[in-house]
Amino acid sequence: MKLSRAVTAAVCGLAAAALTAGCSSNGSSNGSSGAAASANANANQKVNLTFWSWVPNMDKIVAAWNKEHPDIQVTFTKAAGGDAELTKLLTSGKAHTMPDIAQVEYQSLPTLVSNNYLADISKYSGGLQSDYPAGLWSQVTLGTGALYGVPQDAAPLAFFYRTDLFKQYGLTVPTTWAEYQAEAQKLHAANPKAYMGDTATTDGGLFSGLTQQAGAKWWTASGSSWSVGIDSAASQKVASYWGGLVKSGAVDNKAAWTADWSKALDNGTYASWIAAVWAPGTLASEAADTSGKWAMAELPQWTAGEHVTGNWGGSATSVTSDSTHPQQAAAFIAWMNHESEGTDLLVTQGSVYPASLTAESSSSLAVPTFIAGQSDFYTQAKAYSQAAAAATWGPDVNVAYSAFGDAFGAAATNKSDFLAALSTVQQKVVADMKSNGFTVS
């Protein structure tokens, strides 16, 4: 969805992925006390807060807060998530009808901040930074002292594979992308109806995470001028690699998130899946017959011996600029995403892989049933989270993802030039930004 020119005319420039002071909704202040002090402040003032989120069973998590905090009551409303939720927040922001608190995907934060729709809560949430991976914290601070949300979940990429199929075909778990290619070719030669996996290039979120691992920064800024690096050398390396695999037939060219794709995961057509650490939950619904047959390993590396990954998804919880009670809203956010009672509920009730480093070591993290034999699942997941490259997002990620789906979907189906598809995405994003009043160098 494009931002209106009336809104973007007032957008502040992001310098080195950092917002200038003028972009802060409430003004920045040095952090003071933590969540507990925030919750106790103004204890005699009873407030009612509204909250939009798409996390399963969030009503139960909110109920636990409300029971313990009678003076700060939260009313929860189920949100759609994804582009639909961003559209709704932008529309509500323009009309000044946003909730006090909203779940926001990391890639959507710059769009909302540049429109002055999120509040800076840094003065209410001191002492939280050390509990989060640097890459995730940078996405809620945008490189400044301002804080536009608290990270809720982490989504580092990993390699998920069928242990039974790897044994059947004598495959080795790849540690590099060169090994992945070799094993994919070996499998397809042994069984032309089997593939190492899907193309990994029909979902913009996954592909952006793979390019993060290769060092790509899709958006950067200096002063009031933006640079778009979607078609950078790092992204071209990833696109060329996957384009070659698709053309050779070593991976399938079917689009992800379709009925055929789910069937391929379930019936053994795919021997592996590149996904984030939330994959076991998705496999439970998309490939129900394969429970107990999967294992997780580190994402293959471009250079042997490295330990770098990217992210696919993830979100923060933010206070909106419409809230008249930002301090109390910030207290709820810190409780849910940082304090043990809240994060335990996120894990057990919401099936969230928490961003909090403390929560990532919590006993509430039970090994997913789909990876039941891998007792070190969360130990590995925590290491991947800390090794994830920092993502850089711009003001029109939704435009990029839409253009990506069209261009790469066609390229995968036709086994045509992936580099040309990447160039198309770059051109459409630059054109969109310019048409909305952004300076693009």
Give tens-digit pLDDT for 187-236. Answer: 999 999 999 999 998 899 999 999 999 999 999 988 788 999 999 999 99
d(Cα 332, Cα 426) in Å, to the nearest integer?
39
Phi-psi region of 73 (alpha: psi -120 to 50; beta: other; left: phi over 0): beta
Q: How confident is the model at residue 8 (pLDDT cuts 50, 70, 90)?
A: very low
Residue 360 is classified by DSSP as G
- The correct CATH number of 21-154+314-364 out of 3.40.190.10, 3.30.390.30, 3.40.50.1970, 3.40.50.620 is 3.40.190.10
| The pLDDT value given to residue 2 | 32
User: What is residue 81's predicted lDDT score, i.e. its pLDDT?
Assistant: 81
Rounded-to-integer distance, Cα 115 and Cα 311, Å: 25
May I ask the CATH architecture of the domain 157-311+392-440? 3-Layer(aba) Sandwich (3.40)
* pLDDT score for 390: 82
> Is the pLDDT confidence value at 104 over 90?
yes
Same fold, 21-154+314-364 and 157-311+392-440: yes
What is residue 44's predicted lDDT score, i.e. its pLDDT?
A: 60
- Give the residue among 276, 269, 270 at the shortest CA–CA distance from 368: 276
Residue 75 bridge partners (DSSP): 50
Grouping H, G, I as helix, E, B as strand and the rest as coil, residue 213 is helix
Torsion of CA 357, 359, 363, 364, to 10 degrees: -150
Res 11: pLDDT: 32
pLDDT level of residue 361 (50, 70, 90 thresholds): confident
pLDDT band at 175 (very low <50, low <70, confident <90, very high): very high
pLDDT at 372: 80
pLDDT reported for residue 233: 98
pLDDT of residue 24: 33
SS3 state of residue 75: strand
Q: Tell me the C-alpha distance between 125 and 120, whole Å.
A: 10
Per-chain mean pLDDT for the chain:
88
Sheet holding 225-228, edge to edge: 219-222, 225-228, 439-440
Q: Residue 441: CB partners within 8 Å, gap ≥ 6?
A: 222, 225, 226, 227
**Half-sphere exposure of residue 372: CA atoms within 13 angstroms, side-chain side:** 7
For the cut 60, the answer to whether the pLDDT of residue 117 exceeds it is yes
Contact 224, 214 (CB under 8 A): no
pLDDT category of residue 21 using cuts at 50, 70 and 90: very low
DSSP-H helix ranges across 143-255: 163-168, 177-190, 204-213, 233-248
Q: What is the pLDDT of residue 4?
A: 32
Average pLDDT in the 2-13 region? 31
Give me the sheet containing 315-319, strands edge to edge: 72-78, 47-53, 101-105, 315-319, 150-153
DSSP conformation class of 370: G
Q: How far apart are CA 268 and CA 265, in angstroms?
A: 6
Q: Which helix (H) or strand (E) holds 90?
A: helix 82-95
Please answer whether residues 243 and 181 qualify as being in contact, where contact means their C-beta atoms are separated by less than 8 angstroms.
Answer: no
User: DSSP class of residue 140?
Assistant: H
Span 288-297, pLDDT tens digits? 999 999 999 9
Residues 292/369, Cβ–Cβ less than 8 Å = yes
Q: What are the pLDDT digits (tens) for 396-410?
A: 898 999 999 999 999
For the ranges 41-55, 66-80, 297-311, 411-425, the lowest mean pLDDT is seen at 41-55
Q: What is the pLDDT of residue 89?
A: 95
Query: Per mean pLDDT, which range of 205-219, 232-246, 273-287, 323-337 is the poorest?
Result: 273-287
At residue 174, the pLDDT reads 98
pLDDT of residue 17: 31
Q: What is the mean pLDDT of residues 275-280?
A: 92
427 pLDDT more than 70: yes
Q: Which band of pLDDT confidence, cut at 50, 70 and 90, is reported for residue 9? A: very low
pLDDT at residue 30 is higher than 80: no
- For residue 276, what pLDDT band results from cuts at 50, 70 and 90? very high
The predicted structure's pLDDT at residue 238 = 98
Q: Which secondary-structure segment (H or E) carries 87?
A: helix 82-95
Q: What is the pLDDT of residue 80?
A: 86
CB 8 within 8 A of CB 113: no
For residue 348, give both structure tokens.
């057990």
- For the chain, which residues make up each domain, given as ranges? 21-154+314-364, 157-311+392-440
Banded pLDDT at 14 (limits 50, 70, 90): very low
Residue 47: phi and psi, rounded to 5, are -130, 155
- What does each C-alpha distance from 68 to 65, 71, 109, 332 come to in angstroms? 5, 9, 30, 11
User: What average pLDDT does this structure show over 3-14?
Assistant: 31
**Residue 22, pLDDT score:** 31
Residue in 124, 148, 158, 113 with CA at minimum distance from that of residue 22:
113
Q: Is the pLDDT of residue 145 over 90?
A: no
Q: Residue 58 pLDDT more than 90?
A: yes
Mean pLDDT to the nearest integer, 240-268: 95
Q: What token pair was written down for 155?
A: 């989504």
